[in-house]
Chain A
Amino acid sequence: MKEINCKLLVIGAGPGGYVCAIRAGQLGVDTVIVEMTKAGGTCLNIGCIPSKAIIHAADEFHRASEMAAGRNAMGIRADNPAIDLSRTIAWKDGIVGRLTNGVAGLVKKAGVKIVVGRAKFRDGKTVVVETETGQQIIRAEAIVIATGSAPVELPMLPFGGKVISSTEALSLREVPRTLAVVGGGYIGLELGTAFAKLGSKVTIIEALDRVLPLYDKQLTQPVAKRLSALGVELLLQTKVRGQSGNGESLLIETADGEEKRIHADKVLVTVGRRPVTEGWGREELELDMLGPFLKVDDQCRTSMRGIYAIGDVTGEPMLAHRAMAQGEMVAEIVSGKRRSWDRRAIPAVCFTDPEIVSVGLSPDEARASGTEIKIGQFPFTANGRAMTLLAEDGFVRVVARADNHLVLGIQAVGAGVSELSAAFGLALEMGSRLEDIAGTIHAHPSQSEGLAEAAMKALGHALHI
């Protein structure tokens, strides 16, 4: 097969890789992208998008079930709601298909060549791709490693059989009667909640003393409350020992050292994700590492000239939008533009029930940096729109410097607050002060009023509380 020579080669067409390729194509850079499965990576195929589809379906079904059970404040009645999970999955697959085809289309439209196959470095300028039709050698001036991450497997609970990762959980054809979720991070909680709403009896096993350990207790408290209302059993400070001999039950060790067996039709392991740093020929290169990740500088350059890395393979936070921003930046650098990473805020969203969004510093983080702070918190119980949505749980919280009121962080927990992340992120990137937010008219009635009120609260003059 004829060798391909190009200016830029991107390995991996996840959110980081495909954005990098599109942007490079826009800028007239001769670009090739290699992907071994479908464009879109974890995010589009087996992560963000499919999980949100399932979560939404579960929400809708749960709402209908509540109505059928007569638990509906609005007076809506429904009879015998049912869900056909295989049709739900088909609907989800339709969305994923449209998106991945869309991405492939966008990449092509940008003039980027897509090569399907498994890429492997031969040296710092050459990559060999195993395609269906044989070996394709690609030589490039610049190469971007965007190989992403994969679910972490527990040695005593290897994937297979009833032990599944998030990938399989998003493609189940039947709702499991009982589901054990190992790991109380955001993926475990999102999926655990969804399955609880679909009718599974869910048990969440977490080794630490609370769920969502990356967020402060104030933010996670409404989530814990909701889990309990949904009948999800939370086993905190509990370790998984493995499966029983016949594979029937899960062996766990509780906080007081007691060994227990719990029955689960499916065991969903969500104990984190690891960067994919093997299987693409890293051994042929001399790349500095930072822990398990590839080490990059503020221009996403690795320790080898002409080799960049973006996305989950470069470290936390492993979020699609971070990878996209990195990909865009690297494309612009390769095209000769002067760029460097100077983003102030990477919003993080948990699509739990209720949702959590966090941008910038939490109060504890701000205090830890030695800054004197002001905090303004506004509860949705005082927000008209939240009442009409039956979504009064949660609040918006603004953290600002005490001296000049510079906003350092904004967090919220509540139904649908993921959409507020835009306003939060903008406020931080623009270097807003509390007065800027308080001085912006927020539409009434909307949950976003909570943001302005929280800023006013921090300034000492909230109006509706």
Chain B
Amino acid sequence: MAERIIKLPDVGEGVAEAELVEWHVQVGDVVQEDMVLAAVMTGKATVEIPSPVEGKVTFRHGEVGDVIATGTVILKIKVAGEDAPDEHDEPESKPEPAVAVEPMQERVAPEPAAVETPPPPPKPVEKPRAPAAPRTEGDRPLASPAVRLRAREAGVDLRQVTPTGPAGRITHEDLDAFLERGGGKAVGAGLQPNTNVQEVKVVGLRRRIAQKMALAKSRIPHITYVEEVDMTALEELRARLNAQPGGAQKDRPKLTILPFLMRAMVKAIGEQPGINAHFDDEAGVIRQFGAVHIGVAAQTPAGLVVPVVRHAEARDIFDCAREVARLSDAAKNGTAQSEELSGSTITISSLGAMGGIVSTPVINHPEVAIVGVNKLAIRPHWDGTQFVPRKMINLSSSFDHRVIDGWDAAVFVQRLKTLLETPALIFVEE
């Protein structure tokens, strides 16, 4: 057959289906080898499907947002050079009376492929069309005298009315539509109501985030506990470590607060393994993990993703820092592997300078705890005799109240507070 069938490939990790997030071609488009045809998303990774051949798209299945099973035919491409327009058929190659069920492949001398025009570039995702500029500058609005008179009486500047008539003529209907939107009230200056409604299809990552959040919030009764932590000592230590030259550790990473928190969590989890767990509520089982895989919620241009620092219990503070930096870069430029974006046992949510003073983090289902880091700020602290400036941070942490009692939650956060306020404790081997 001169037609190449393109199926939704198995894009790894044995997933049975993937979500179509972008079409780059339409039926009738001419494609070249390796040109991207579509993008699908599995797990948390987006995979592009390239064209294996040069040819013309004859069939397309599925719309953006559809979840399609692996192996489903999504495209058919008529291979260039192997077919020819019917009118060029030579007499002897006339099809036989239909005995064959399938259309017969005609044997035709390969036509020079030059008849094809160069393929158009892949079409970008169609954006909602912006309203056309009413007219080019300096052009007088085109309208009949009656429309102009009505506009003048209504105080409408016709330059603001979008024309729909031939040659850009403003019709009575255009003026009606403009007036209906209240356009006539404020001419030229002033605030105008905008009744524009734009529908944005929730697809891809956004859809996954929506599903995940709905699941977490509907299944998990959250308890959120907020405590302040004096970070002055930790900040001093951090500044000193960052000021030191690399020494034995080559290309030692700059330390943020995050790796300290991770190590403190590892320490606290050692005493409360119930915090580092998955609650399979359908099976009625809590799986407490020895491994501490810490998800770090990160903002990317596409939306929220949670790269995972695996085995934080086996990483020292610099290793943690290095891994956080690597993963966040990978997540931001979209190169993170699917397995790097899943499998966490507990999660940290941090908005850094945007962190505010309190947040109510949503647990990353099926985990049972999430630690939220708010913004570091210098605040007055009463030391018993006077106010002193201290570097303070709030931790806003949520727990699955079905399996973690308020008391246990408080114990965990207080333990983190102690560890962070006296950072040496993080490093003491017990």
**Chain B nearest CB, measured from A371 CB (Å):** 11
Interface residues of A in 392-413 (CB under 8 A from B): 401, 404-406
Q: Is B144 a contact of A431 with CB atoms below 8 Å?
A: yes
Q: CB-CB < 8 A to B167: which residues of A?
A: 401, 404-406, 431, 433
Closest residue of chain B to A404, judged by CB? Answer: B167
Contact of A265 with B by CB under 8 A: no
- CB of A433 within 8 A of CB of B148, answer no
Which one of B140, B148, B167 has the greatest number of beta carbons of chain A within 10 Å? B167
Instruction: Please determine whether A406 and B144 come into contact, CB atoms closer than 8 angstroms.
Output: no
- Could you mark each residue 333-344 of chain A with 1 if its beta carbon is under 8 Å from any beta carbon of chain B, else 0? 000011110111
Q: In the complex, which residues 166-199 of chain B have their Cβ closer than 8 Å to any Cβ of chain A?
A: 166-169
A436: chain B residues within 8 A (beta carbon): 166
Q: A404–B165 Cα gap in the complex (Å)?
A: 12
Q: Which residues of A contact B165 (CB under 8 A)?
A: 431
Which of A343, A401, A433 has most chain B Cβ within 10 Å?
A433
Whether B148 pairs with A406 at a CB distance below 8 angstroms is no
Query: Which B residues lie within 8 Å of A337 (CB)?
Result: 153
A interface SS class: loop
| B142 close to A431 (CB less than 8 A) | yes
Q: Mark A53-76, 1 if CB is under 8 A from B, else 0.
A: 000000000000000000000000
Q: How many A-B residue pairs have CB under 8 A?
A: 33
Task: Please determine whether A429 and B153 come into contact, CB atoms closer than 8 angstroms.
Answer: no
Given contacts A431-B167, A435-B166, contact A342 B148 (CB under 8 A): yes
Smallest distance from the beta carbon of B293 to chain A beta carbons, Å?
Answer: 63
A433-B166, A435-B166 known; A406 vs B142 contact (CB < 8 Å): yes
Whether B152 pairs with A338 at a CB distance below 8 angstroms is: yes
Judge whether B245 is part of the interface by a CB distance below 8 angstroms.
Answer: no
What does the 1/0 interface line of A146-160 toward B look like (CB < 8 Å)? 000000000000000
Interface residues of A in 408-465 (CB under 8 A from B): 429-431, 433, 435-436
CA distance A343 to B169 in the complex (A): 16
- Which chain A positions have C-beta within 8 A of B143? 431
Nearest-neighbour CB distance to chain B for A429, whole angstroms, equals: 5
Separation of A278 and B143 alpha carbons in the complex (Å): 40
The proximity string for A residues 310-342 relative to B, scoring 1 for CB distances below 8 Å and 0 otherwise, is 000000000000000000000000000111101
* Neighbouring A residues of B153 by C-beta, 8 Å: 337-338
| Residue contact A404 to B168, C-beta cutoff 8 Å | yes
Q: Which residue of B lies closest to A344 (CB)?
A: B140
Task: From A337, A430, A435, name the one whose CB has the most chain B CB atoms within 10 angstroms.
Answer: A430
CB proximity of B186 to chain A, nearest CB, Å: 15
Q: In the bound complex, what is the Cα–Cα distance between A436 and B169 (angstroms)?
A: 12
Counting chain B CB atoms within 10 Å of each CB, the highest count among A339, A401, A429, A431 belongs to: A431
Alpha-carbon distance between A227 and B167 when the two chains are bound, in angstroms:
41
Given contacts A406-B168, A435-B166, 20 further A-B contacts (CB under 8 A): A337-B153, A338-B152, A338-B155, A339-B152, A340-B152, A342-B148, A342-B152, A343-B145, A344-B140, A404-B166, A404-B167, A404-B168, A406-B142, A406-B167, A429-B144, A429-B145, A430-B145, A431-B144, A431-B167, A431-B169
Between-chain CB contacts (< 8 Å), 26 pairs: A337-B153, A338-B152, A338-B155, A339-B152, A340-B152, A342-B140, A342-B148, A342-B152, A343-B145, A344-B140, A404-B166, A404-B167, A404-B168, A405-B167, A406-B142, A406-B167, A429-B144, A429-B145, A430-B144, A430-B145, A431-B142, A431-B143, A431-B144, A431-B167, A435-B166, A436-B166
Q: Which residues of A contact B (CB under 8 A)?
A: 337-340, 342-344, 401, 404-406, 429-431, 433, 435-436
